[in-house]
Structure 1
Amino acid sequence: MATLALPAGPFALGTFSAPDGEPFPGLLVQERVLDLSGALDRSPSDVRAVLERWEETLPLLRALAEDDGRGWRPLEGLRVHAPVEPRQIFQSGANYRQHVIDLEVAHRSPDDPRTVEEARAEIAAVMDRRAAEDLPYVFTGLPSAVTGPYDDVVLPSWAEKPDWELELAAVIGRPAHRVSVDEAIGYVAGYTIANDLTDRATVFRRDMKAIGTDWLRCKNAPGFTPLGPWLVPAESVADPGDLRVTLKLNGDTMQDESTKDMLFGVARLVSYVSRTARLLPGDLVLTGSPAGNGIHWGRLLRAGDVMEGSITGLGAQRTRCVGETS
């Protein structure tokens, strides 16, 4: 396992297990972990259960983080799992200005008479107008795609163009339905890192072009959403709209962009999703991928690749790609 990058703030949440042990919800303070299933009333079995009572539990977590008399154990030697098991995953598409411009240029028709510079300028104008006047574009993902931040990623044999998409993920802390933009940020318990892998070859249906995109096929293979390592409380993230999102492939920087480039920020995304769906504690709202995906570089994922993803203050994940064996 890679050297673990610790989060910002006095503490974070995570899901851990000892060798051959069952996963448990843990409070991370520096390089030590406290098992919350024994330290909190009602013995929460997982981090989602902690989030179910987030408002009343958060002050207790602050106090526990300063209590040296508890049964802390060293982080070293513990396995780090995805920090939370969501019931619902909402994924924002086309939410980074530069990323959308890159994709539109990459996928433009060979018959397009515009120069690359002309196409970029026109698409940029559309993005600016969209941010000011339009609504976010959001679809749903499967919790079964979630895997740990240091687990291997199995590339399915059918995935011809697997790609990376490192993203900021907001974690919901209380039920939210039809909340305003001004209210929305108050429903976010914290933030974590998600790599929303996508097979570019199956994004669009070849057999039914009129239907368009196939998000089930291209994004939801088991392990296609490495998550974590930590859930960092919102109070420790000064501005989710000003974080650096960086992904390295085999040591080379591919994505390195600020969340300032988002067209729709966390509050607008959470509010928009809540207009239709009822958000629940532990749910994830993925905020979209910045520029620098493999389709931009002309270099897609293959077995043996190592992805290292980090976001300011949220730690870092490291995943190795392996080929499907059966």
Structure 2
Amino acid sequence: MKLARIGPAGQEKPVLIQRDGTARNISSVVDDISARSIADGILTRLEQIDVAALPTAQLEGVRFGPPVSDVGKIICVGLNYTDHAAEVGLPLPTEPTIFMKGCRPSGANDPVRLPKGAAKGDWEVELGIVIGKAGMYVDEADAYDHVAGFCLFNDLTERSFQMEHGGQWTKGKSFPGFAPLGPWLVTRDELGHPDNLRIWLEVNGVRYQNGNTANLVFGVQQIVSYLSQFYELEPGDLIVTGTPAGVGLGQTPPAFLKSGDVVRLGIDGLGEQQQNILAWED
């Protein structure tokens, strides 16, 4: 199933989108799509009810908020596509490269403001994993049991903050609005194993990223198992799995975001996003 939260920020209503595209308002079943409702088994409950008896919801022209209202940790995997590591001139990691993102997810199509004085805003389309069941020391064979579903994610980055101000990557990743998520949470039963999905991103109609999740260095099961050695994974946590080649930093010469740009991105089965880029002063 596809689950979404639609409406103005702070007033989103939960909906279920059926395979034929019909949206059903599920407010009578659950108040919100949240870490708590996922932990309490809302995905199983929704599988057991007659959703056709629920009222329909209009999707055209509405805002899609983050599909999970209260994402917990955002754990990111860097350099996890073979082609991306090559474009930035770094060797493939022997273990996943991990960093954190310190901002809250925003809606899939919400506008994005660049930081004050930003000079090197960049894009990174990524596959996101939403954790559905808590766990530590998870075996790879059991990893999917801990996954609620998958989302499209844009790991926006200010490269000057990331690379020119010392310290680690997090400061370049954490500006408000730098985590567009959605439009949907797609459950495992609908998407299947996301190991051969087209993943792409365009800026102003020019396609920069055109990859496939088959090129992941570490796959979903490996990542979930690996991270569970260091973190207590909890329902509502978001793991983003890296980006394919084609980031702005990897262009010759480098290409970075500016006010007025339009970014579009998508992953097969997970929908599309579009963000209008604004300067801090706009």
TM-score (structure 2 length as normaliser): 0.92
Q: What is the aligned partner in structure 2 of residue 86 from structure 1?
A: 71
1:264-283 aligned at under 5 Å gives the runs 264-283=218-237
Contact 2:63 2:109 (8 Å CA) reproduced: no
Q: Distance in 2 between matches of 1:52 and 1:95?
A: 29
Q: Distance in 1 between matches of 2:52 and 2:266?
A: 29
Contact 1:169 1:194 (8 Å CA) reproduced: yes
The letter for the 2-side match of 1:28 is: I
The letter for the 2-side match of 1:313 is: G
Quote the offset at 1:73 in angstroms.
Answer: 2.0
Structure with a larger share of its residues in helix = 1
The letter for the 2-side match of 1:22 is: Q
Q: Distance in 1 between matches of 2:4 and 2:216?
A: 27
Q: Distance in 2 between matches of 1:87 and 1:20?
A: 18
Which residue of the other structure, out of 19, 23, 38, is the alignment partner of 1:51?
Answer: 38
Q: What is the aligned partner in structure 2 of residue 244 from structure 1?
A: 198
Q: Distance in 1 between matches of 2:9 and 2:183?
A: 20
The letter for the 2-side match of 1:73 is: A
Alignment coverage as a number of residue pairs = 278
Quote the offset at 1:21 in angstroms.
Answer: 8.0
Moved more, 213-222 or 85-94: 213-222
Q: Distance in 1 between matches of 2:14 and 2:35?
A: 9
Which residue of the other structure, out of 57, 68, 71, is the alignment partner of 2:55?
Answer: 71
Deviation string for 1:126-158 (max 9, x for gaps)?
53xx4xxx32111111242x2111110001123
Moved more, 69-78 or 259-268: 69-78
Which residue of the other structure, out of 22, 29, 33, is the alignment partner of 2:23?
Answer: 33
Give identity over the alignment, percent.
33
Q: What is the aligned partner in structure 2 of residue 139 from structure 1?
A: 99
Q: Distance in 2 between matches of 1:175 and 1:164?
A: 30
Q: Distance in 1 between matches of 2:218 and 2:279?
A: 35
TM-score (structure 1 length as normaliser): 0.80
Quote the offset at 1:257 in angstroms.
Answer: 0.4
1:95 matched to 2:80: yes
Q: Distance in 1 between matches of 2:162 and 2:51?
A: 49
Quote the offset at 1:45 in angstroms.
Answer: 3.1
Deviation string for 1:188-238 (max 9, x for gaps)?
1100011001111122354x5xxxx43232000000011110000011123
The letter for the 1-side match of 2:3 is: L
Q: Distance in 2 between matches of 1:325 and 1:259?
A: 37
The letter for the 2-side match of 1:100 is: A
Q: Distance in 1 between matches of 2:192 and 2:14?
A: 25
Aligned residues: CA RMSD:
1.9
Contact 1:31 1:74 (8 Å CA) reproduced: no
Compared CA separation, residues 160 and 235, structure 1 to 2 (3 A)? same
1:317 matched to 2:277: no
The 3-state SS of whatever aligns with 2:64 is strand
The 3-state SS of whatever aligns with 2:27 is helix
Contact 2:158 2:173 (8 Å CA) reproduced: yes
Q: Distance in 2 between matches of 1:187 and 1:143?
A: 23
Unaligned runs of 5+ in 1: 1-10, 105-122
Contact 2:129 2:147 (8 Å CA) reproduced: yes
Unaligned runs of 5+ in 2: none
The 3-state SS of whatever aligns with 1:61 is helix
1:184 matched to 2:143: yes
Q: Distance in 2 between matches of 1:282 and 1:49?
A: 8
Q: Distance in 2 between matches of 1:36 and 1:142?
A: 30
The 3-state SS of whatever aligns with 1:317 is strand
Q: Distance in 2 between matches of 1:89 and 1:292?
A: 23
Contact 2:26 2:54 (8 Å CA) reproduced: no
Q: Distance in 1 between matches of 2:124 and 2:10?
A: 32
Contact 2:103 2:178 (8 Å CA) reproduced: no
